[in-house]
């Protein structure tokens, strides 16, 4: 008994010894606060400058929030191209999320739990392609899509991005860890394969689907190069491409930043809701942000 | 390479009827095929075509004709290519230590739990999910002669041929350090407490504990980050495109900028593909080199 108490006291003492000293703790909070301010500052500047009149860009006066002027928002939201670009980005992101999740969970389930001819070959060819940089495929991909009439269309924008190897791996990894008995039992009860997938596999995959869905949404919402080459007309631009074009055309800063703020709001909302899934996705499997 | 793969030996289930195996194979194929076909058409095909196209002269609407190594010899004699290579390598060399250093420093600071630690971690991840285009628009102002950085240093870094690359590196570090921090943090939390306690009771100070106990444990995670971030910085495009367009006077002109201009401005698709092949070879070469160096240090 006494020995136990002593050892637990010793553990607590050593626990404390690894913790920083009082001064160390203060220093830690100071350093982290400075780093946070540096991290947040660009967002703050983006929002405040978007609420300034055209000419007020000189630092430091431009970073005082008051008085503000909503002119830039009136300009980007009323009548400009931004609502169209927002809609395009929403279509691009949401349709891709749904299709990638469906395709990847089907393929992931088959790779994890089914035996079929050519399985290993297919799997390793997926794997090999992860190592080939996107830019090697960019030119032929564009030629392919362009010759099929896909420039300035939603299908041309979306379909080529659905071949997402990382998503397939992630689903395979998750489903492989589910016990086989679950599927066997349903099969013995006479459930069809399709029914097993819909009623057993998908519900069990909810957490990983949430994580993957958020990442796919972010990748598409923030994507730049592919929408840039496929969306040639102003009407087919996504937000990133549109905002880059505004910046290039020397549109006033407050207007560009109002557009940027509008583009940032959904991302921020997704982050507030799904932060846990995002950070878990990164730490568990190293998905790229 | 961001996902670990384990292939299990295929199990032979006793008493399984051949009809059942056929049924399973049919459904397995049906589930994989939609994905696999997309993959063949939009990833595998273009990757092969992209490599081949590097040996052809080709522009849209024309038929490709084989030119052997012409594109590559042209590349070797093209000062724009060498400039792009120089810029890309310089950018990577500056970016890697800075970004991994910042990630590591902050991971160590938010390692132990204390009041508010979760808030700090959330804040640091915010730039990671922000698009580079948005980062580029606001940082363009921050660096401009009207912005705080420009005022502090008496001029715009983006207009300076020497300082433009450090400016781009700073933006990249800002946008990526939270990712590295999370990866390292996950690893740090797996370092057994007993190891550090043992070192402590042997009289090791904080620096010695970090250097000889914690750092060796972090090695795989640092290597992972190094490979991912090298690949990323070889492909830097969005930031450069929006912030500088490669200027001033090509002093921030990267390889992917060159590829983009050749392919989508000059429509010289063969040469652009050859640039893609060069980028791939460069990436592979550096990944192998890193593997050798990290392996030897063990």
CATH number of the domain encompassing residue B150 = 1.10.3720.10
Residue A70's pLDDT band (boundaries 50, 70, 90)?
Answer: confident
What ipTM was reported for this prediction?
A: 0.86
Chain B contact set for A141 (CB, 8 A): 42, 46
Chain B CB contacts of A271 under 8 Å are 125-126, 129
Q: Does A29 touch chain B (CB under 8 A)?
A: yes
- In tens digits, what is the pLDDT along chain B, a chain of 298 residues? 344 444 444 444 444 455 678 888 888 889 999 999 999 999 889 989 888 988 988 887 778 888 888 889 999 999 999 999 999 999 999 999 999 999 999 999 998 888 888 899 999 999 999 999 999 999 999 998 888 898 888 888 988 899 999 999 999 999 999 999 999 998 888 888 888 888 888 888 888 888 888 888 888 889 889 988 998 899 999 999 999 988 888 999 999 999 999 999 988 899 999 999 999 999 889 888 888 887 665 4
Query: Inter-chain contact A130–B1, Cβ cutoff 8 Å?
Result: yes
Looking at residue B170, its pLDDT comes to 96
Compute the distance between CA of residue A140 and CA of residue B235 in angstroms, rounded to an integer.
Answer: 18
Count of the separate structural domains present in chain B: 1
In this predicted structure, what is the pLDDT of residue A16? 57
Instruction: Tell me: do A81 and A6 sit in the same domain.
Output: no
Residues of B in contact with A140 (CB under 8 A): 45-47, 49-50, 53, 273
Residues 67-96 of A with CB under 8 A from B: none
Is residue B25 in some structural domain?
A: no
Count of helix runs (H) and strand runs (E) in chain A: 15, 0
Report the residue of chain A nearest B276, measured CA to CA: A136
Take residue A275 and report the two structure tokens written for it: 């932060």
Asked if A115 lies within 8 A of B263 by C-beta distance, the reply is: no
Q: What pLDDT score does B156 carry?
A: 87
Q: Return phi, psi of residue B56, to 5°.
A: -125, 160
* Per-residue DSSP letter, B286: H
* A106 in the same domain as A33: no
> A113: nearest CA in chain B?
B28
Is residue B14 situated within a structural domain?
no
Residue A76 has pLDDT above 50, yes or no: yes
Peptide bond between residue B248 and the one before it cis (omega within 30 degrees of 0): yes
Is there a contact between A243 and B137 if contact means CB atoms under 8 Å apart?
A: yes
Cβ within 8 Å, pair A263-B109:
no
Say whether pLDDT at A267 is over 70.
Answer: yes
Return the residue matching tokens 């980028």.
B279
| Residue numbers of the domain that contains A34 | 2-74
B43 to A289: CB separation less than 8 angstroms, yes or no: no
Q: Which of A28, A49, A74 is the last residue of a domain?
A: A74
The answer as to whether B110 is a domain residue is yes
Domain that holds residue B207: 79-254
Nearest CA in chain B to A192: B27
Out of A144, A247, A286, name the one closest to residue B2 (CB): A286
Same domain, A32 and A92: no
Count of pairs with CB atoms under 8 A, one residue in A, one in B: 304
- Tell me, yes or no, whether A29 and A123 share the same domain: no
Chain A residues 185-214 with a CB less than 8 Å from chain B: 193, 197
Q: Are B234 and B95 in contact (CB under 8 A)?
A: no
A228: Cβ contacts below 8 Å, ≥ 6 apart: A241, A244
CB B109 within 8 A of CB B189: no
Neighbours of B6 (CB within 10 A): 7
* Domain membership flag for residue B230: yes
How far apart are the CA of B39 and the nearest CA of chain A, in angstroms? 5
Question: Cβ B185–A283 below 8 Å, yes or no?
Answer: yes
On whether both A58 and A100 belong to a single domain, the answer is no
Indicate whether A82 and A60 sit together in one domain. Answer: no
Q: Give the gap in angstroms from C-alpha A61 to the nearest C-alpha of chain B.
A: 10
Residue of B nearest to A29 (CA): B109
For residues A149 and A234, state if they share a domain: yes
Regarding whether A184 and A95 lie in a shared domain, the answer is yes
pLDDT for B64 equals 83
Judge if A14 and A139 occupy the same domain. Answer: no
Return the residue in B1, B3, B127 with the most chain A beta carbons within 10 A, the one to mutate for interface testing.
Answer: B3
pLDDT in tens, A193-242: 888 888 889 999 998 999 899 999 999 999 999 999 998 888 889 999 99
Give a yes or no: residue B166 inside a domain: yes
Q: Is A176 on the interface with B (CB under 8 A)?
A: yes
Which residue of chain B has the CA closest to A260? B134
Q: What is the CATH number of the domain that holds A218?
A: 1.10.3720.10
CB contact under 8 A, A271 and B2: no
Nearest-Cα distance to chain B for A3, in Å, is 19
The count of C-alpha atoms lying within 13 angstroms of the C-alpha of B199, restricted to the half-sphere facing its C-beta, is: 17
- Tokens 């709001």 label which residue? A265
Instruction: Tell me, yes or no, whether A107 and A205 share the same domain.
Output: yes
Look at chain A and report how many structural domains it folds into. 2
Same-domain status, A112 and A92: yes
Nearest to A135 among B8, B131, B256 (CB): B256
Q: How confident is the model at residue A17 (pLDDT cuts 50, 70, 90)?
A: low
Which of A74, A92, A112 is the endpoint of a domain? A74
Q: Give the H or E element holding residue A2.
A: helix A2-18
Residue B53: list chain A partners with CB under 8 A: 139-140
A33 and A159 belong to one structural domain: no
Summarize pLDDT for A159-175 with one digit per residue, the tens: 999 988 889 988 998 99
How far away is chain A from the Cα of B197, in angstroms, using its nearest Cα? 7
Q: Which residues of A touch B247 (CB under 8 A)?
A: none
Spell out which residues of chain A touch residue B47, defining contact as CB-CB under 8 Å: 129, 132, 136-137, 140
Closest CA in chain A for residue B227: A131
Q: Is residue B91 part of a domain?
A: yes
Position B207 in a domain: yes
CA nearest B177 in A: which residue? A39
Which tokens belong to B209?
């504990």
* Contact residues, chain B, for A109 at CB < 8 Å: 31
**Three-class HEC string of A131-189:** HCCHHHHHHHHHHHHHHCCCCCCHHHHHHHHHCCHHHHHHHHHHHHCCCHHHHHHHHHC
A277 in Cβ contact with A205 (< 8 Å): no
Closest-CA residue of chain B to A118? B29
Render A32-45 in DSSP notation, one character per residue: HHHHHHHHHHHHHH
Q: Are B258 and B279 in contact (CB under 8 A)?
A: no
* Closest approach of A183 to chain B, Cα-based (Å): 12
Instruction: Give the A window 224-253 contacts with B, CB below 8 Å.
Output: 224-225, 229, 240, 243-244, 247-248, 253
């Amino acid at each position: 008994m006494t020995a136990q108490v002593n050892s637990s006291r010793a553990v607590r003492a050593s626990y404390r010894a690894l913790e920083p000293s009082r001064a160390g703790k203060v220093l830690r909070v100071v350093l982290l606060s400075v780093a946070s301010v540096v991290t947040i500052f660009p967002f703050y500047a983006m929002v405040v400058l978007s609420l300034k009149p055209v000419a007020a860009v000189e630092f430091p006066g431009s970073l005082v929030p008051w008085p503000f002027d909503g002119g830039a928002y009136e300009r980007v939201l009323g009548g400009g191209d931004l609502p169209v670009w927002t809609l395009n980005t929403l279509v691009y992101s949401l349709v891709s999320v749904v299709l990638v999740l469906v395709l990847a969970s089907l393929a992931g389930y088959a790779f994890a739990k089914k035996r079929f001819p050519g399985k290993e070959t297919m799997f390793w060819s997926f794997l090999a392609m992860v190592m080939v940089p996107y830019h090697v495929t960019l030119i032929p991909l564009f030629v392919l899509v362009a010759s099929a009439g896909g420039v300035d269309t939603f299908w041309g924008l979306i379909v080529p991005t659905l071949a997402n190897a990382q998503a397939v791996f992630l689903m395979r990894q998750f489903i492989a860890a589910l016990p086989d008995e679950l599927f066997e039992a349903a099969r013995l009860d006479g459930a069809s394969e399709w029914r097993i997938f819909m009623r057993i596999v998908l519900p069990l995959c909810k957490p990983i689907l949430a994580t993957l869905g958020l990442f796919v949404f972010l990748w598409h919402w923030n994507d730049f190069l592919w929408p840039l080459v496929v969306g040639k007309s102003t009407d087919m631009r996504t937000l990133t491409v549109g905002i880059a074009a505004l910046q290039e055309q020397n549109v006033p800063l407050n207007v560009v930043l109002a557009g940027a703020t509008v583009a940032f709001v959904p991302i921020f909302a997704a982050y507030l809701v799904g932060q846990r899934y995002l950070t878990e996705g990164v730490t568990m499997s190293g998905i790229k942000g | 390479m961001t996902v670990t793969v384990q292939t299990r030996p295929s199990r032979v289930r006793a008493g399984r009827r051949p009809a059942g195996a056929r049924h399973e194979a049919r459904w397995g194929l049906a589930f994989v095929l939609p994905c696999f076909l997309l993959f063949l058409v939009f990833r595998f095909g273009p990757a092969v075509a992209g490599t081949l196209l590097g040996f052809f002269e080709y522009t849209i609407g024309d038929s490709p004709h084989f030119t052997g190594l012409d594109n590559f010899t042209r590349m070797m004699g093209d000062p724009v290519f060498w400039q792009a290579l120089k810029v890309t390598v310089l950018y990577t060399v500056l970016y890697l230590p800075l970004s991994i250093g910042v990630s590591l420093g902050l991971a160590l600071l938010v390692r132990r739990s204390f009041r508010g630690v979760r808030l700090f971690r959330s804040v640091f991840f915010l730039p990671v999910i922000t698009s580079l285009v948005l980062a580029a628009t606001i940082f363009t102002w921050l660096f401009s002669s009207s912005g705080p950085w420009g005022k502090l240093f008496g001029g715009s870094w983006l207009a300076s041929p020497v300082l433009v690359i450090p400016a781009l590196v700073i933006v990249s570090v800002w946008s990526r350090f939270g990712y590295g921090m999370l990866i390292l943090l996950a690893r740090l939390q797996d370092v057994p407490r007993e190891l550090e306690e043992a070192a402590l009771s042997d009289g090791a100070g904080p620096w010695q504990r970090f250097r000889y106990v914690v750092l060796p444990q972090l090695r795989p995670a640092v290597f992972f980050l190094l490979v991912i971030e090298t690949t990323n910085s070889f492909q830097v495009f969005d930031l450069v495109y929006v912030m500088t367009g490669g200027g001033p006077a090509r002093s921030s002109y990267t390889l992917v900028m060159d590829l983009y201009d050749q392919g989508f401005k000059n429509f010289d698709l063969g040469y652009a593909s050859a640039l893609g092949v060069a980028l791939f070879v460069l990436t592979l070469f550096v990944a192998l080199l890193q593997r050798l160096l990290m392996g030897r240090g063990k």
